[in-house]
Structure 1
Amino acid sequence: KKKKIIIEKPTTFYEEEENKGSRRITPIEILERLKKMNDNDLRILGISPENARLEWVVFTVLPIPPVCARPSITLDSGIRSEDDLTHKLVDVIRINQRLRENIDAGAPHLIVEDLWELLQYHITTYFDNQVSGIPPARHRSGRALRTLTQRLKGKEGRFRSNLSGKRVDFSARSVISPNPYISINEVGVPIEIAKILTIPTNVNDWNIEEMKQMVLNGPNRHPGANYIIRNDRRRIDLRYVKNRKMIAEMLAPGFTVERHLNNGDLVLFNRQPSLHRMSIMAHEVKIMDGRTFRLNLTVCPPYNADFDGDEMNLHVPQSEEARTEAELLLKVQEHILSPRFGGPILGGIQDFISSVFQFTSKESLYNIKDTLNLLFMGGVFDMTPDFSLEELTPVVTDPEPMYSGKQIFSTLFPDDLNIRVKSKFCKKCEVCTEEDCEYDAYVVIKNGKLITGTIDENSFGAMQSNSILQRIIKDHGNARGRQFLDNSTKMLLYVIRQNGMTMGLDEVYVYGKAYEKIRKILEDADDESEKLIKAFHENDTEVLKRAPGRSMRETLELRIRQVLAEARKQAEESAAEFIGDEAHSVIMTKSGARGNILNLGQMSAVVGQQAIRGERINRGYSSRTLPHFKINDLSPKSRGFVESSYRNGLKPVEFFFHAMGGREGLVDTAVRTSTSGYMQRRLVNALQDMVIENDGTVRNSDKNIIQFSYGDDGIDPMHTDHSDAVNLDVLLLKAKSLDIDEVHEEVKKRPVKKVPKKEVKKEKKEKKEKIDIEEPAKDEETVKDHSEEELMKIFEEETGKNAIWRGKVTKNFLEWKEERESK
């Protein structure tokens, strides 16, 4: 009869016996039982008896890792310190020795069992020092030992720390700073870094002179070289070479020179945390002075970088294959469109959006000098060398010719660009007048000319679908998109320098009638809140009608929050009206460059209700938030409503409530980051082996089908038009913008269709007659002189019919051929 086996974690086994309680089974007994299992039993358990047997899981001997796996270190003081594994093995050997001695001496059973248990403990902790239920083995200092499992497990273990990711050579790290004059494809590298990072270059007949010069320059002059690898693979370190000229003369094809990083080399640039594919991209090197990496401003969004002290990593690919892959797959211009939503992840940011907004507004006019400067900065003459200013018609001619910003900006567009999009500051009128919009908020670009509308974040910003950049890339490819982005930002830099962008405290200073109006709005809100609180205390359901599914207290909170939110909104609108549309801070919010109207309202009018977990502040002392207020005070002031604006300064109590609200934001951010990080890790691990096979199915590493078609529609989001496989609106716009007369002219130029059969026969007879008269001698040679393919071509030209149809020679062709031969 089977007896029940009980396991007491981690390594003790008991066997229940009828009427006798339980008896402990020793490892020797377990080993004997496991040895008795035959091959068929093992197969039933899913174990292959040829490769593994169950008795092998009980140790009878202990393999000792070699010394290189557990090296001892000598401390500064001269004391030798052994590795944790060595310590553990010493324990195992010591106890094993004592156990052997006690068994040989015939010690009592209890002592032997105790020593046996101790040996088992040491073996267990040797393999894993974090087994639940037993205390971890410790060092003399009290530190838990790091044994075999700990070496492999977790973030600091062998797999994650040394195999999946590792420290690498040929990499650099430095602070980043902005440089709007380099291309988005480039990265500015300090000359000090360029002298240390090297690229192995094979010497051949074409580059030998250049390599000799680099060797002569040596390791301290850029562009130089640090090492030479000879044909016999011996390295020569150029730091210690006295006569570099002799070494340079010795260079021959087949040598490898490890040369300095130079302009135009491809490098990988990365910013941590690497959350998506665009966190590491390939850039071309541009050697610069200074000690920081330089980055174009429009490349910041994919890296999520800013210049408040961020550091970034640079890696130099060493092989030709790696460089080719970087060029074709990793270059920045290949990643302008995001795989997440099919729109551009790069684009205008901050100052660029503010200035394009000013540049393309109705009022912006430029004289000939500024216009030429703008065209030159925007690289218009480089892109189209035959461009001349006469192609633009001045908007104003008196007293001097003036060109509009819209015209100048249009010179950067391709000729077939057609877009219609509403601007960010669209007032959302009931009936949209489109091109005739009085606010100039409807952007229309027809055949590469900006006709109406002011360009802002919606048509020029990063992460905007249906922006100008997206249309250019969809129609003309990534390289043209990069060119547009580089040129437009350089042109806009000139505009920024001309206009200037600034903001002072006086911009958010509201005074006079506007200030009184704001005070009145806040007083009315206070009175309304008091009414509601009174109704709550008196249980007046007419003034305070209970919301469905809410208690009276919840209803009161809800209503007060609504009243205060409305008051803040009205105050904000009054302040915005007073500040006007010309203020630079308003231009920033209107164009979508930075901030929103709420920020302006908080600076100039009222900061508003501070919330914790979406409710008014209600925790603090018993029955009140602070000792400054009466018990059970429900007024807005006592529950975190800040009436002051940042411009006028907060009162101490308001400041305290504001700090409470701010603290929640900080804690929330920290908690969210760690949660989303762990969630991403789990997702990546679950999905990492999925791949699209040649048959279009998505499968994992076991070749199990996950999806029959990728995403169930087989569409790559990166190549969609904001998730649509085909954008009909754009196609319609293109069709509408075509010039009908031009199309008619093109159609007329097309060759006439094939002639009907009867006419063909007549033509054939005429041709034959002509041939007979003019060139009788050539006719005899025709068939013999021409190959089969040439004959087929002649047949098709003469008759307008196919010589081969569905892979077979036609009957008509064979008859025609015979006819010619007989002639």
Structure 2
Amino acid sequence: MPYSTFRLNLLVTPPYNANFDVDEMNMHIPQSKETRAELSQIAWVPRQIISSQANKPVMGIVQDTLCGIRKFTLRDSFLDWVLVQNILMCVHGWDDTIPTPPITKPKALWTGKQIISMTIPRGINIHRGSDPPSSNPVGDNGVHIENGELLYSVLEKTVGASKGGLVHIVFREKGPEATQDLSTGLQRVVDFWLFHNGFSIGIGDTIAGKKVMEVITGTIQEHKDKVKQVINDATNDRLKAEPGMTIRESFESLVERELNRAQDTSGQYAQKNLKDDNNVKQMVVAGSKGTFINISQMSVCVGQQSVEGKRIPFGFRHRTLPHFAKDDFSPEARGLTPQEFFLHAMAGREEDVMVCYDGTVRNSLGVIQFIYGEDGMDAAYIEEQSIRTYDLNDKEFNHKFLVNVTDPSGGFLPGALQVGIDDSRLELQQKLDIKYEAHCADRRFLREFVFPIHNMTMEHALPVNLLRVIQNTLQIFHIDRRKPSDLEPTYTIDSVQQLGECLIVVRGEDALSREAQQNATLNFRMHLRATFATRRVLEEFHLTREAFDWVLGEIETKFTSRLHVLGRCAAHLPRSQSGNRLHKWL
């Protein structure tokens, strides 16, 4: 653009901490081929959508688009034929197909959810149950996206920079290019609709009703009377000091507490009585701008002002703080101590740490870790998952993992396997017993050594979401859970074991490399064994042989793509921590 002006998409401003008030940016031109390759492959903006440090998106739908997408996906948002024709021109990669309108009489009408579904890639599945649980919740709360189609939900912060949201899952499942297309499509569609629908805020959105103001006025007056009583008690020496406080501190604490209660109580009452179509409330609920505190301050009262958690103090003369003597020129009274100055300087200077091409993590002083994060995985792709051998009780554990084909009551369910597959051989029982012992060993290792304090609800950070891969497989191969499987039990045992051996993080045949490889993949291999236990594959997932092979191949591909890119910066940390080898910063 002219006048040395950068053109910047609104989505990428958060990681730059940029806005549009004449901020300054610098542009650097790469000179060498190596630098150009690193910038195009590593520093490319779509690859930076997920932050490895926080394991969540740093870019997502914001501001106007975020507010608009909430209004666009409400149940009463409908589009006629003319608007649909115009808005489909904004759909990124539109394939010339028009969805079937849910309403045909007296005229055809389409929903906003149908248009939004056209921007979501196929194969994306997200389900978060509603409260109360329902397959079609009246309030449209919860999220249900099946094979890229939005079935129910009012999209709000789900499409923003939230962990586990739509942007996060599309990045994990489809990659940075698909996430870029998703963001582009959502922006174009929603902005076009919002441009024709309109959205503005007026003074009327901040004015509470007469009845609400009467209740709020009474509430504030009630708390003011309590403050007068505290002042009266302090004046007449009836006020008692609270533990750890002087009389003056106790007085200030009680006054501040009552005034804060006045603001909180009146603000919450005003929020509950605002209509859903209030534009300020819509903006806050969508997460595009503002908070409910801003609503209460605009509609009710600003509230008691606090500085550093206390009421604004009276002035003081000839000293920086009340507890210093007059004309005290010591470092403590006039600034920072040497130790405080060092800590302040440390917090303001961060050092780049890089995963080098030999797999080690280094900074300017040397090696920090021999394997990034001890497992080599990019933190941007890590998800919280449950290892079933850890969190199940004994009865559920035996039901899912113990199989005895020599006992009719302990074998596979009738109809789980196709006719002709021998499920009563001693060789099969031996393999099943070995696998059951492996599950028991995993359970003991997790419960007694790694997590001796049992927390059954705790989840583990793992690179590939196996249940999501299975869900995608069931849709791709159209698995009919009523039909028996053609998968042989011995084949599942051998294939899962072979897959565990193919997951390579550390290469090498020496003793140190083999131990590092074992430690790097230990958690994920336990998760793999627990998810693809023979009974679960045949009775719970009903996978066919073709689908099972596809699942294992998909897991191996995703696992390899989750490894941290060599040559890429790993994280930022203060300089004083970079020498501490035991500091868990990755």
TM-score, with structure 2 as normaliser: 0.60
Quickly say closer, same or farther: Cα 1:520–1:711, change in 2 above 3 A. same
Aligned pair in 2 of structure 1 residues 521, 728: CA closer, same or farther (>3 Å)?
Answer: farther
Give 1:523 deviation, angstroms: 0.4
Question: Which residue of structure 2 lines up, in the alignment, with residue 707 of structure 1?
Answer: 369
1:454 pairs with one of 129, 151, 154: 154
Alignment of 1:187-198 (within 5 A): 189-190=1-2
Distance 1:409 1:581, change over 3 A: same
Aligned partner of 1:441 in structure 2 is 141
Which of the numbers 281, 291, 310 marks the counterpart of 1:586? 281
Which residue of the other structure, out of 369, 375, 378, is the alignment partner of 1:716? 378
Give the one of 715, 720, 725 matched to 2:463. Answer: 725
C-alpha distance 701-554 of structure 1, shift in aligned 2 (>3 A):
closer
Same amino acid, percent of matched pairs: 29
Alignment partner, residue 479 of structure 1:
177
1:324 matched to 2:20: no
Contact 1:609–1:616 at 8 Å: present in 2 too?
yes
C-alpha distance 565-411 of structure 1, shift in aligned 2 (>3 A): same
Classify the secondary structure of the residue corresponding to 1:444: strand
1:300 to 13, 21, 24: 13
The amino acid of 1:582's aligned partner reads D
SS at match of 1:492: helix
Partner of 1:514: 212
- After superposition, what is the alpha-carbon deviation per residue over 1:431-467, rounded to whole angstroms, capped at 9, x for unaligned? 643655443221111121111110012x1113x1111
Rounded to whole Å, the distance in 1 between the matches of 2:190 and 2:259 is 42
The answer (yes or no) to whether the contact 1:521–1:571 under 8 Å persists in 2 is: yes
| Counterpart in the other structure of 1:373 | 86
1:574 is aligned to 269
1:531 equivalent among 224, 229, 237: 229
Aligned to 2:346: 679
Asked if the contact 2:121–2:178 (Cα under 8 Å) also holds between the matched residues in 1, the reply is no
Structure 2 residue ranges without an equivalent (≥5)? 318-340, 385-460, 492-586
Q: TM-score, normalized by length of structure 1?
A: 0.43
User: Following TM superposition, by how much is the alpha carbon of 1:311 offset from its aligned partner in structure 2, in angstroms?
Assistant: 2.5
- In the alignment, the residues of structure 1 paired with residue 471 and residue 229 of structure 2 have an alpha-carbon distance, to the nearest angstrom, of 57
Q: 1:496 aligns with which of 194, 199, 215?
A: 194
On the 8 A contact 1:693/1:699 being kept in 2, the answer is no
The separation in 1 between residues aligned to 2:308 and 2:171, in whole angstroms, is: 44
1:347-382 residue CA offsets vs partner (Å, 9 max, x unmatched): 10100100000011111111122122222212242x
**Unmatched runs of 5 consecutive residues or more in structure 1:** 1-188, 191-289, 623-673, 754-823
> Judging changes above 3 Å, is the alpha-carbon distance between structure 1 residues 566 and 490 closer, same or farther for their aligned structure 2 residues?
same
Per the alignment, residue 160 of structure 1 pairs with: none
Q: Distance in 1 between matches of 2:268 and 2:365?
A: 61
Change (3 A) 1:319 1:713: closer
Q: Secondary structure at the match of 2:56?
A: coil
Q: Is the 8 A contact 2:63 2:288 kept in 1?
A: yes
Q: What whole-Å deviation, never above 9, does each CA across 1:284-312 have from its counterpart, x for those lacking one?
A: xxxxxx76321111111121111111122
What is the alpha-carbon distance in structure 2 between the residues aligned to residue 552 and residue 736 of structure 1? Answer: 69
| d(CA) in 2 for partners of 1:607, 1:499 | 33
Q: Does the C-alpha gap of structure 1 residues 679 and 513 become closer, same or farther in structure 2, counting only changes over 3 Å?
A: same
Q: Which residue of 2 aligns with 1:236?
A: none
Higher strand residue share? 1
> Do residues 408 (structure 1) and 146 (structure 2) align?
no
Deviation at 1:565, TM superposition (A): 1.5
1:340·1:717 contact (CA, 8 Å) conserved in 2? yes
RMSD (Å), alpha carbons? 3.3
The within-5 A match list for 1:272-283 is none
Q: Distance in 1 between matches of 2:165 and 2:135?
A: 18
1:530 alignment partner, SS class: helix
Q: Which letter maps to 2:381?
A: H
Q: Is the 8 A contact 2:125 2:146 kept in 1?
A: yes
The structure that has the greater radius of gyration is 1
Residue 323 of structure 2 is matched in structure 1 by: none
8 Å CA contact 1:460–1:469 kept in 2: the answer is: yes
Report if aligned partners of 1:343, 1:721 keep a CA contact under 8 Å in 2.
Answer: no
Which digits, 9 at most, give the CA deviation of each residue in 1:656-685, with x for residues without a partner? xxxxxxxxxxxxxxxxxx99984356442x
Q: Distance in 2 between matches of 1:552 and 1:498?
A: 61
Question: For 1:564, which of 259, 262, 266 is the aligned residue?
Answer: 259
- Count of aligned positions: 390
1:53-92 equivalences under 5 Å are none
Deviation readout 1:238-268 (Å, 9 max, x if unpaired): xxxxxxxxxxxxxxxxxxxxxxxxxxxxxxx
How big is the shift at 1:564?
1.6
Shift of 1:482: 0.7
Contact 2:92-2:181 within 8 A present in 1 as well: no
Give the C-alpha shift of residue 708 in structure 1: 4.7
**Aligned pair in 2 of structure 1 residues 319, 714: CA closer, same or farther (>3 Å)?**
closer
